[in-house]
Chains A and B, each alone.
Chain A
């Protein structure tokens, strides 16, 4: 019984069907199945599969994103059940993410946010044109483990460094890892500004974030 339900959950993620994913999550709640089990055996394998297939070139960005949306829909249904049971959803970590001040490029950042969220991170997406102090304040507020900073322009990319310096000035650098990304960003730039991680794409960003949290 559960196996069939879990298989359907996995498939709803692969098919990118938020309505079905939510419906299946609701069904599991009604059947009294532990939401932790529901996530780990039902929905997460779907996300892993889509990520793998994307890496192999067999699935594409729209499929990746709708899988993330389906995952979000399932989690939204399960959240109250966690609260009711007095348990917490196992999250891999808390991530504050945004596109840096002066830069309004959204797509890459949103992709990373979607994938991190689908993979089990609690993601706080601050949007675009995010002031340096907003990153810092939000990170302090939610006790973030990771800050992700996106920049598509070489002119705004330099401000990624400012965020890291602000973390140092506020005595938070020891608690918060920093990931940087965006078209002009390279591994050597990440190293130069003292960032902890960098990835080419959203799937890679999940791997880096998991490694940072010791969950890879």
Chain B
């Protein structure tokens, strides 16, 4: 039996949808790209060109929801389906879009550069907890114009897992699709077996910017999966209540789906987000707050009600080092996201409101993810009788350790943690050097890095490197940073 975790009753889900439809119908959504407004108008929206506002009827939204796919897969380089977007499948990937790297020796947050992202990618490639990798940090030493595609370049070189990524401009979106097409065997093949999903963000409240709108249109036309990252900020960028923020999320995403499906019916899109409550002392966006996770679980429930693939941002901490706060916020929020059955949960490895990444924390978070995934697998009947047949020959002796069933079933029942989790005796802990979780994670990270083997695809790599080198030259860089491949 799998856990069934829901924060909303059916009446509330309906009320959220009703109010979102009402917002879209009466207030409308601001759409800043003329082509997007034309598409919406042609689809039946009432458009005010001066105000850049499109009012959408429920009928329009229902039409879009009728064509949007309920599931799709992301593939690895070998073309195998790895990530299932749909149903209650749960996957985790490292967080994205950080700008800092936690130096494991000094604990300083330093501007992230190529070697840091490479380290993150190697660890994410090595850990089975992560079904996908992400373009986790910008590399501050490369030209801004290729910042987005350079991250994807490294992800393609150092891992063969599906990729959660995103573009910073309209032009580079196309370039990045071409880069992926090199590995998929052309744009058509990429559409059939996508290797990556692209994050696309509406602007709260209820705005689809020029870039956001264009990205939805372009990704739809290329049939490359888009992942909407709606970011209600409860009490600042959206209504203060959890439910109010969920209504805003629903309206923003429904509008996105309408535009996306008008650009190309049937193109894959994800009901995702990175909401947060607004911290009323600090004016910050705590990703580790329990209410943030509650907003996520609620909007995911709405998305599931509509039959859509889901995504969210959890498993991160707002703390600056991977200490107790880090474990608490990352672990609790990863568990909530998993219980909510969210298809892709981004955020592992991140600290400081998603600004900073740490491979060591990624290793720690893999344990929280292991436990969360175990929880989601639920309590299952593995034996013919629950216990009575196992008592055969026991005769009041604690001999269950000798049973064949124990040997064959223990690893199905128990998640076996890595050495990051200390379950030894106090004496063994002393003998091993009295290490805390952080230092055990450091050792485990180094072990993974030493054992890492780069998956290679020589032909594609050569074409990719030539392409990215040319783009780097055009962006004013003489050459790409050296990689120790």
A and B are interacting partners: yes
Q: Decide if A154 is an interface residue (CB 8 Å cutoff).
A: no
A52-95 residues at the B interface, CB under 8 angstroms: 57, 60-63, 65-66, 69
Contact, CB under 8 Å: B402 / A69: yes
The segment from A41-49, A105-113, A139-147 found at the interface with B is A105-113
Q: Decide if A211 is an interface residue (CB 8 Å cutoff).
A: no
Top 9 nearest A-B pairs (CB, nearest first) are A62-B407, A62-B406, A106-B398, A65-B401, A65-B402, A66-B407, A107-B398, A62-B410, A200-B428
B367 CB to closest chain A CB (Å) equals 15
Looking at B398, B402, B411, B416, which has the most chain A CB atoms within 10 Å of its CB? B402
Looking at B404, B411, B428, which has the most chain A CB atoms within 10 Å of its CB? B404
- In the bound complex, how far is the Cα of B394 from the Cα of A110, in angstroms? 14
Nearest opposing residue in chain A for B404, CB measure? A66
- In the bound complex, how far is the Cα of B419 from the Cα of A111, in angstroms? 23
- In the bound complex, how far is the Cα of B416 from the Cα of A63, in angstroms? 15
Contact, CB under 8 Å: A110 / B428: no
Q: Decide if A2 is an interface residue (CB 8 Å cutoff).
A: no
Contact, CB under 8 Å: B427 / A200: yes
Nearest opposing residue in chain B for A198, CB measure? B427
Q: Could you list 15 further interchain pairs (A-B, Cβ under 8 angstroms) beyond the known A106-B397, A107-B401, A187-B427?
A: A16-B404, A57-B419, A60-B411, A62-B401, A62-B403, A62-B406, A62-B407, A65-B401, A66-B404, A69-B402, A106-B398, A107-B398, A111-B401, A183-B425, A200-B428
Mind listing 7 A-B residue pairs with CB under 8 Å?
A16-B404, A61-B401, A62-B406, A66-B404, A107-B401, A183-B425, A200-B428
B378-411 residues at the A interface, CB under 8 angstroms: 397-399, 401-404, 406-407, 410-411
Q: Decide if A186 is an interface residue (CB 8 Å cutoff).
A: yes
A contacts, CB < 8 Å to B: 16, 57, 60-63, 65-66, 69, 106-107, 110-111, 183, 186-187, 200
Which residues of B sit under 8 angstroms from A111, Cβ to Cβ? 401
Which residues of A sit under 8 angstroms from B406, Cβ to Cβ? 62
- In the bound complex, how far is the Cα of B398 from the Cα of A61, in angstroms? 14
Contact, CB under 8 Å: A60 / B401: no
Which residues of A sit under 8 angstroms from B398, Cβ to Cβ? 106-107, 110
- In the bound complex, how far is the Cα of B398 from the Cα of A187, in angstroms? 27
Contact, CB under 8 Å: A186 / B401: no
B397 CB to closest chain A CB (Å) equals 7
- In the bound complex, how far is the Cα of B425 from the Cα of A120, in angstroms? 27
Nearest opposing residue in chain A for B401, CB measure? A65
- In the bound complex, how far is the Cα of B402 from the Cα of A107, in angstroms? 10
Which residues of B sit under 8 angstroms from A106, Cβ to Cβ? 397-398
Which residues of A sit under 8 angstroms from B399, Cβ to Cβ? 110
Which residues of B sit under 8 angstroms from A69, Cβ to Cβ? 402
Which residues of A sit under 8 angstroms from B410, Cβ to Cβ? 60, 62
A13 CB to closest chain B CB (Å) equals 13
Which residues of B sit under 8 angstroms from A183, Cβ to Cβ? 425
- In the bound complex, how far is the Cα of B401 from the Cα of A65, in angstroms? 7
Nearest opposing residue in chain B for A105, CB measure? B398
Which residues of B sit under 8 angstroms from A187, Cβ to Cβ? 427
- In the bound complex, how far is the Cα of B397 from the Cα of A200, in angstroms? 23
Which residues of B sit under 8 angstroms from A200, Cβ to Cβ? 425, 427-428
Nearest opposing residue in chain A for B408, CB measure? A62
Complex interface bits, B38-76 against A, C-beta within 8 A gives 1, otherwise 0 = 000000000000000000000000000000000000000
A103 CB to closest chain B CB (Å) equals 13
Which residues of A sit under 8 angstroms from B402, Cβ to Cβ? 65-66, 69
Which residues of B sit under 8 angstroms from A107, Cβ to Cβ? 398, 401
- In the bound complex, how far is the Cα of B407 from the Cα of A187, in angstroms? 31
A124 CB to closest chain B CB (Å) equals 17
Which residues of B sit under 8 angstroms from A63, Cβ to Cβ? 407
- In the bound complex, how far is the Cα of B407 from the Cα of A16, in angstroms? 9
Nearest opposing residue in chain B for A127, CB measure? B397
Which residues of B sit under 8 angstroms from A16, Cβ to Cβ? 404, 407
Looking at A61, A62, A66, A200, which has the most chain B CB atoms within 10 Å of its CB? A62
Nearest opposing residue in chain B for A17, CB measure? B404
A97 CB to closest chain B CB (Å) equals 15
Nearest opposing residue in chain A for B419, CB measure? A57
Complex interface bits, B422-453 against A, C-beta within 8 A gives 1, otherwise 0 = 00010110000000000000000000000000
A107 CB to closest chain B CB (Å) equals 5
Which residues of A sit under 8 angstroms from B416, Cβ to Cβ? 60
A194 CB to closest chain B CB (Å) equals 20
B422 CB to closest chain A CB (Å) equals 12
- In the bound complex, how far is the Cα of B336 from the Cα of A200, in angstroms? 37
Nearest opposing residue in chain B for A16, CB measure? B407
A163 CB to closest chain B CB (Å) equals 22
- In the bound complex, how far is the Cα of B404 from the Cα of A111, in angstroms? 16
A171 CB to closest chain B CB (Å) equals 34
B288 CB to closest chain A CB (Å) equals 31
Looking at B407, B411, B416, B419, which has the most chain A CB atoms within 10 Å of its CB? B407
- In the bound complex, how far is the Cα of B406 from the Cα of A63, in angstroms? 9
B409 CB to closest chain A CB (Å) equals 9
- In the bound complex, how far is the Cα of B30 from the Cα of A114, in angstroms? 73
Given A65-B402, A107-B398, A107-B401: A186 in contact with B427 (beta carbons within 8 A)? yes
Nearest opposing residue in chain A for B405, CB measure? A62
Which residues of A sit under 8 angstroms from B397, Cβ to Cβ? 106
B15 CB to closest chain A CB (Å) equals 51
- In the bound complex, how far is the Cα of B398 from the Cα of A66, in angstroms? 15
B147-164 residues at the A interface, CB under 8 angstroms: none
B303 CB to closest chain A CB (Å) equals 40
B158 CB to closest chain A CB (Å) equals 27
Which residues of A sit under 8 angstroms from B427, Cβ to Cβ? 186-187, 200
Which residues of A sit under 8 angstroms from B419, Cβ to Cβ? 57
- In the bound complex, how far is the Cα of B399 from the Cα of A65, in angstroms? 10
A106 CB to closest chain B CB (Å) equals 5
Which residues of A sit under 8 angstroms from B404, Cβ to Cβ? 16, 66
- In the bound complex, how far is the Cα of B181 from the Cα of A125, in angstroms? 67
- In the bound complex, how far is the Cα of B406 from the Cα of A65, in angstroms? 10
B186-230 residues at the A interface, CB under 8 angstroms: none
